[in-house]
Chain A
Amino acid sequence: MSEQSRTEHRSVSVERFLRVWGTLIGFGFLLLLFSVLRPDAFARLSNLRNVVEQVGTLAIASAGVTMVMVTGDFDLSVGAIASLVGVVVAKLMVAGVGIVPAIGIGLATGAVFGAINGLFVAYAGVSPFIGTLATMTSYTGLSLFVTRGTTVFGMPEPFRIIGQESIGPVPVSVIIMVVVVAATYLLLDYTTFGQRLYAIGGNRTAAFLAGINTKKMRFLAFVYSGLTAALAGIVLTSRLFSAHPQAGAPFMLNAAAAVFLGMTAFREGQGNVFGTVLGVFIMGILSNGLNIIGVNTYIQSVLTGAILVLAVLLSGLAQRKEG
């Protein structure tokens, strides 16, 4: 390598350092800011634990969405799947089905609805945005139909364990979150499957020419997303101890926002599950911290949107080159 290209290399490295770690540094800055502003209320262990519990379900759902977005697809239906599965599981338990079988059926339901997304998008060639927008609408309709638009109550007490109890100091829901995130990380970064998903997202033609079954891989990513959405719906239902036909609705945009925020961290512009978790926590901390310092809820939404754009701009993901 020549002298010239070596020096060029070095200046690129500084830029890349910021691109890879900038979002994490921003997150640290947020933590510091709220801690300084309200050390009494914000920087307490009980409050931070509270944040983690609040964002746990979003993190679970976002993990699956990360997998879909790694391939360059998109999934708008996770919120609808989470709501529907919550309703199904609650109804089953109210009707006397055991907790474990009900959860099993719920997870299977999520996988099937994810598979339907995958069929439309990967095999039938519907654009992911339109395809999952359509299924989201239908899945939401199904939840409303099943519940006649009402909230389901009266589940057996032990079902509370999932969303409300702790093992030692650690909430069960947080353990589930950690397991899902770890599993997704292993799948994406340490399996052939994950390698193929990244390849498809990087250059679909190249992946196809290399003999990768791109349709099947994209299909499987949607199934996984359906599965994690179902799990998020179950945890949420347990936490609220009721199932509302639209309880999962906020996941739809928040999960996508978390994955986008996550793309600005660690892996330079690609979906990655730790980035997604960071994105989830940025949104959680922001909402919690702004609440504590007394910012109006509506203004919070404005700020969340602004921060999303800011992160993308600062991370250099914006395509300045082609201006």
Chain B
Amino acid sequence: MTRKIHDKGGIVTNGRTFDLKSLSKTYPGVQALQKVSLSVDPGSVHALVGENGAGKSTLIKCLAGVVEPDEMELYIGGNRAVIRNAEDARKMGLAFIHQELNLIEFFTAPENVFLGHVLPRKYGLLDRKTLRSRAKSIFDDLGVDIDLDEPVRYLTPGRRAMVAIARAFADEASVYFMDEPGTSLSPDEKKHLFSMIKKLTEQGKSVVYVTHNLEDVLFLCDEITVFREGRRVKNARSADITKSGLIAAMIGAETDQQKDRQPQKRTIGKEALSVDGLTGGGIGPVSFNVKAGEILGIGGLVGSGRSTLLKLLIGAIPAKGGAVRIGGIGAEIHRSPAEAMKAGVVLVPEERRSEGLALRRSVFENTVLSSLGRFSRSGFLSAKTARGEVTSAGEDVRLKTTSYDAAVNKLSGGNQQKVLFARAVMAQPRVLLLDEPTKGVDVGARLEIYEVIRRAAAQGVAVIVVSSDFEEILSLADRFIFLRAGVPIGTAVNKDMNQNQYLAMCYHGANDE
């Protein structure tokens, strides 16, 4: 483990070069990484970008000692390094923020931060006071005010992400690997993360930052390496490359045809869903309506109650009052997702791995899950019909999988998300609820998912979208309602709205509809 050593001139000498000469990894049937290299200068932020399935996560898992590579030649500080397990990686001075937060739900923030560490002791027993104060100083450094005594399951998604980030900072490491650390952070929390990264580099440490957010890449990083299909295809100083150049490198020749098309004209139909004074789960009363063929964006900041609203609509959180009317018939509140689905309301949840997919089950089983009833012939699954429809739904969303019998956790994040979309489309919804539809999804798959969403709307489905990605929600939505602290504070029609106007609505609301 390296420690900070300041010499008398205040120059930090703990930076160590990280030089991955070659790394290969083959999964059955797929060459995930093919002799890739990655060299990181001390005191720099190095972005690693590429579409899902490009091999970024595999690289990180190999370095973290979670996945065993076929071949790895790695030098840290000039010395050959061998990593067999998580312990080894830590000893080599590598720290990780994995994409899945990997928190222990009922542990407090300090307990999570120091998970797996040598813990402070007093008289041979665990010294919780010291543990708490050490964690507090990390969170203070991060500029985050966080409840240190609550189990983390009571924290907001942003705060939970900060706990996972703080965990990496608790390691006295020389290279920090961060896999999509910014996805659930509020703009404010992200700012703190970036300034913390800056502090690290000032100490001569380096950061490898993996993200799909290219603005962040260009803003934050000194050097950029692009992966495509398990190969290193580009390496450049960030000053020497533009966003479109990056996209071109990431998706190769397909750039032009994959460009995000402007929303085409859609015919807006009759009212598909109307919500009147809905309360529950700590939010409301909320009233609004969506018409068939319309895409409604729910605007607001993290914690404003957007996801809660979606969960209320499908009955995953019990409603306390109000009415939900679908297709102009009946006034009812759904008591369960099953009831909601019967009425044609389907949710694609935010946390695809914990709320969406049965990870070890096959692509087929996961896709057909919401429509099993349709394929039931006196209780038996009519597999042939089901397979046909699953395959065509998969093609609709441009799902890439070696086989529909492959376990869904073998797919890349983008393809896992497409499985959820295929499932939703197969359920033949009238109202489609999308919570962060492209979280952790790469550019190419993201554009394909936008196509799926627009096509569904064009076919007369009413779509409601929640997204923290401003660019995404501004390109998708026809109209917005804005929530703050669980109550609507304004509505707006999306007539070439820009990000600043949108953000201003999130904060202050108003009404110009």
Contact = CB atoms under 8 A, between A and B. Distances in A.
B291 to A, nearest CB: 29
B118 A192 contact: yes
Contacts of B100: 205
Interface string B393-410: 000000000000000000
B282 A8 contact: yes
B102 A4 contact: no
Contact of A268 (B102, B106, B305): B106
Nearest to A213: B87
B107 A202 contact: yes
A267 B111 CA distance: 15
B117 to A, nearest CB: 8
Interface residues on B, range: 35 or more
B116 interface: yes
Interface string A183-219: 0001001111011101100110111111110000000
Contacts of B487: 4
Given A4-B282, A199-B104, A210 B485 contact: no
Nearest to B283: A4
A214 to B, nearest CB: 10
B236 interface: no
A316 interface: no
A184 B322 CA distance: 50
Contacts of B85: 211
A321 interface: yes
Contacts of A208: 66, 86
B254 interface: no
Contact of A195 (B64, B119, B485): B119
A22 interface: no
Interface in B288-326: 303, 305, 316
Contacts of B126: 189-192, 194-195
Contacts of A7: 282
Contacts of B66: 208-209
A209 B106 contact: no
Given A190-B126, A195-B111, A198-B107, A209 B98 contact: yes
A210 B125 contact: no
B469 interface: no
A306 interface: no
B454 interface: no
B507 interface: no
B423 interface: no
B125 A206 contact: no
- For the complex, would chain A's binding face be called helix, strand, loop or mixed by DSSP majority? helix
Contact of A210 (B102, B151, B316): B102
B241 interface: no
A210 B118 contact: no
Contact of A211 (B86, B103, B119, B316): B86
A2 B303 contact: yes
B118 A209 contact: no
A321 B336 CA distance: 9
Nearest to A320: B318
B282 A5 contact: yes
A269 interface: yes
A250 to B, nearest CB: 31
Interface string A1-32: 01111011000100000000000000000000
A86 B87 CA distance: 42
B282 A202 contact: no
Nearest to B305: A4
A206 B485 contact: no
Nearest to A212: B116
B154 interface: yes
B115 A190 contact: no
B216 interface: no
A269 B325 CA distance: 38
Contacts of A323: 336
Contacts of B16: none
Contacts of A212: 115-116
Nearest to B126: A190
A5 B107 contact: no
A16 B323 CA distance: 29
Contacts of B154: 12
A186 B125 CA distance: 8
Interface in A233-288: 267-270
B90 interface: yes
15 contacts: A4-B487, A189-B126, A191-B126, A194-B126, A195-B119, A198-B106, A202-B107, A203-B103, A203-B104, A206-B103, A207-B115, A208-B66, A209-B66, A209-B86, A268-B151
Q: Shortest 8 CB-CB distances between A and B: which pairs? A: A210-B116, A202-B104, A206-B102, A4-B485, A8-B282, A211-B86, A190-B125, A211-B116
Interface of B: 64, 66, 85-87, 89-90, 96, 98, 100, 102-107, 111, 115-116, 118-119, 121, 125-126, 151, 154, 156, 167, 282-283, 303, 305, 316, 336, 485-487
Given A207-B115, A269-B106, 19 more contacts: A5-B303, A186-B125, A189-B126, A191-B125, A192-B118, A195-B126, A196-B116, A199-B115, A202-B105, A207-B104, A209-B64, A209-B66, A209-B102, A210-B86, A210-B115, A210-B116, A211-B86, A211-B89, A212-B115
